[in-house]
Amino acid sequence: MARNTLYNKVWDAHVVTQLPTGQFQLFIGLHLTHEVTTPQAFDMLKERNLDVAYRDRTVATVDHIIPTDNMARPYADPEAENMMAALEKNTRDFNVKFLNFDSGRQGIVHVIGPELGMVHPGMTVACGDSHTATHGAFGSIAFGIGTSQVGNVLASQCLSVDPLKVRRIEIDGELGPGVEPKDVTLYIIRQLGVQGGVGYAYEYAGKVFDDMTMEGRMTVCNMAIEGGARVGYCNPDQTTYDYLKGREYAPGDDVWDKAVEHWQSMASGPDAEYDDVVKFNGADIPPMVTWGVTPGQSVGVDEGLPDPSSFEGADSATAELAYKHMQFVPGQQMGSVNIDVAFIGSCTNGRLSDLRSAAEIARGKQVSDGVQAIVVPGSQQVKKQAEEEGLDKIFTEAGFEWRNAGCSMCLGMNTDKLVGDQISASTSNRNFVGRQGSPTGRTLLMSPAMVAAAAVTGKVTDVRDL
Amino acid sequence: MSENKVQTITGKAIAIHGNDIDTDRIIPARFLKALSFAELGQYPFNDERFDENGKPKDHPFNRASSEGAKLIFANSNFGCGSSREHAPQSLGRWGISGLVAVSFGEIFAGNCEMLGMPAAMATPEDIATLQETSDRNPLAEFTMDLNQMTVSCASESVSVPITIAEGRRMSLINGHWDSTGTLVANLDKAKSVYESLPYTSGYK
């Protein structure tokens, strides 16, 4: 049983009571909500005559269904219009803070929470979205939940949960040139498997994470769930405090030292004990690319594709299914794969540093003939900052479309969808069958620099060769 | 709340083969744009059951013998991926009342619990036995028993042990799985935690 880790400390500070079932009632310090997983939860409140318990700990935005090209209302898609209207009505009826377009603060829920300084070390966070672990980058414990649980958090600001085990994933050494946080998270998932984290919170530690920016840590924590771990986090440090300082919802100067002192006290202690520890070397991590239909089916960009028989048991069948769907063959080099679409964005890689990294590759080049390349900033603020730096010009001059903020082609809930069996080089988080809106569509997950490289060459490309 | 008690489920079973069956496969994202769960029972595994023209494909959920089935037997990491409660909602509204797998995506299992649908685990060998039995005899009736913690099929002389987190089992068999009322009843205690947290008072 883990003890004295950040996970344990945050848990202890937030336990309300043990329930008769043996589960625990945990207080949630920040509830982030969006249009897709809340309508039925607000309906439940109405049916049971319940109110939102803690408005000051609840915030809403819109991200999943909105078009990122033509945003004029009503939306072309009537279902999207209905969802947006429902969120507008529910946030009005229940008096919940709604960061809509007019606020200038709209964006993907996992981008805006951090950039507004809402997420602090030592906090518990919940959101009706599996990528909520993103907020663990700040040393918070963040849970992805379903809609009935969203209803619970709205009504009580609490969840009923069982404690998790804690696995420390320690990566020392230095990352090589061209290797980004996305590669680190894909590497971890490949090593530990897409189910390896079931039942665990992942603590990411070691020199690679100590050296990583907050936005990089968010990318890694974001994909904890793709490795089976519902929760992932980094311990807070000076990088965390520097990021938070001065942000809208961060503590002010008058209480800053006190806040930092509290945050430091929540970090895993030197005597922390873990249920499991795994160690990797940062120098072993290459730029990664997925070839299959789970985020664990990936290779280093210069590696050949594996033989299905090299996987054990049912994983071998999963690999065969992947080969069939992807139309790839064992032994093939990913460098030979042509792409149709390049997508830069999402809660994984839609932040300013991601756009900078992609723009660095795209600068002065042209998107390859026949490739549709789109850049979707993670938030209105990311978009504004990128435009102030001239990144939008670099992208548009290179032939990329420059969009408004939203989830867009990560999950194909708006009009951005793959068509037929198109291949997409994508900075998003899931290569599941049908994920990007076409049942036969094919997704290759990679870093922003790698996607930009694929966009300009028209095929999967080792960014180190550019 | 006795009507909420979930202790035994008896009915036909559908074997869904394969590891890592994600919630995008169970319910594609475009069906999440509905404001209500009410219609989702039409769509579980939609893109695997129907081609682009809506023509049915060979899929366990399309077989006449599966009509009225109440249980799913699956392999490991079933329901991984997205947190969409729409996945268990679509299975439940289609008619599924309980699932047995080697393991589940964690958020999916939590969502099942919230709906009073037991998501229980069995060893890979026992899952293979259950899947083989229901594949061979799709009309066979199985009973999932949360008191005995078994899944059995008397006509095929099969009985295997299952496991489920004890808290989840208790909430199901006692009918407390709809936890909203319980959590709301503790709002006073929640308030003391709220007041004890440095960040809720701005670290003053």
Pure H helices in A49-135? 78-93, 109-115
**Residue B88, C-beta contacts closer than 8 angstroms, at least 6 positions apart:** A146, B79, B108, B111, B112, B115, B117
Is residue B20 within 8 A of residue A431, CB to CB? The reply is no
- Which positions of chain A have pLDDT values less than 50? none
Q: How far apart are CA A61 and CA A101, in angstroms?
A: 9
Separation of alpha carbons B191 and B204, rounded Å: 18
Rounded to the nearest 10 degrees, how much is the dihedral formed by the CA atoms of A233, B109, B35, A61? -10
pLDDT of residue B3: 66
A228 CA to chain B: closest CA distance, Å?
7
Q: What angle do CA A410, A416, A419 make, to 5 degrees?
A: 100
- The answer, yes or no, to whether residue B1 has pLDDT greater than 50, is no
User: Mind telling me how many Å the CA of B52 is from chain A's nearest CA?
Assistant: 8
Interface A:B, Cβ pairs < 8 A: 226
Q: For strand A165-172 and strand A276-281, is the pairing parallel, antiparallel, or unpaired?
A: parallel
Residue A139 contacts B where some CB pair is shorter than 8 Å? no
B116 CA: distance to closest CA in chain A (Å): 11
Sort out which chain B residues have CB atoms less than 8 A from A57's CB and list them: 194, 200
Residue pair B202/B161 in contact (Cβ under 8 Å)? The answer is no
At B53, which amino acid appears? N
Q: What is the DSSP string of A222-244?
A: HTGGGGT-SEEEE---HHHHHHH
CB-based burial, A148-182: b 16+ in 10 Å, e otherwise: bbbbbbbbbbbbbbebbbbbbbbbeeebeebbbbb
CA distance A116 to B74: 42
Instruction: For residue B198, list chain A residues with Cβ-Cβ distance below 8 A.
Output: 122, 258-259, 262
The domain spans of chain B are: 2-176
Distance CA A146, CA A194 (A): 20
Chain B residue whose CA is closest to A131: B82
Mean pLDDT, rounded, of chain B: 96
B141-145/B8-16 β-pairing: antiparallel
Say which of A14, A80, A155 has its CB closest to residue B193.
A14
Q: Kind of pairing, strands A30-33 and A231-234?
A: unpaired
Residue of B nearest to A82 (CA): B35
Q: Which residues pair with A161 in a beta bridge?
A: A24
Give A 404-443 residues with CB within 8 A of chain B: 411-413, 430, 432-435, 437, 439
B195: contact with A, CB 8 A cutoff: no
pLDDT band at B2 (very low <50, low <70, confident <90, very high): very low
Instruction: Tell me the per-residue pLDDT of A114-125, one tens digit each, with 9 for 90 and over.
Output: 999 999 999 999
Residues of chain B with Cβ-Cβ distance to A138 below 8 Å are none
Q: Select from A27, A198, A433 the Cβ nearest to the Cβ of B194.
A: A27
Q: Which CATH class is domain B2-176?
A: alpha beta
Residues of B (7-26) whose Cβ lies below 8 Å from A: 17-20, 22, 24-25
Is the minimum CB–CB distance between A56 and chain B shorter than 8 Å?
A: yes
- The H-assigned helical ranges of A4-144 are 6-14, 39-47, 78-93, 109-115
d(CA A330, CA A458): 22
Quick check: A230 contacting B, CB < 8 Å?
A: yes
Residue burial B21-36, b: 16+ Cβ < 10 Å; e: rest: bbbbbbbbbbbbbbee
Of A48, A162, A251, the CB nearest to B203: A251
Q: Which residue in A317, A430, A439 is closest to B47 by CB distance?
A: A439
Amino acid, res. B159:
S
Q: Does A112 touch chain B (CB under 8 A)?
A: no
Residues from chain A contacting residue B182 (CB–CB below 8 Å): 19-20, 25, 160
How large is the C-alpha radius of gyration of chain B? Answer: 19
With tokens 């590759």, the residue in question is A361
* A450 sits in which H/E element: helix A448-457
Residues B54-70 have pLDDT tens digits of 999 999 999 999 999 99
In 3D, which of A248, A347, A259, A235 has the Cα closest to residue A7? A235
User: For A408-441, what is each residue's pLDDT tens digit?
Assistant: 999 999 999 999 999 999 999 999 999 999 999 9
Q: Which domains does chain A have, with CATH numbers?
A: 6-161 (3.30.499.10), 165-237+262-284 (3.40.1060.10), 290-465 (3.30.499.10)
SS3 content of chain B, % helix, strand, coil (to 5): 45, 20, 40
Residue B41 touches chain A, beta carbons under 8 Å: no
Give the number of C-alpha atoms closer than 13 A to the C-alpha of residue B123, restricted to the C-beta side. Answer: 6
Peptide bond into A251 cis (omega under 30): no
CA A352, CA A146: separation in Å to the nearest integer? 29
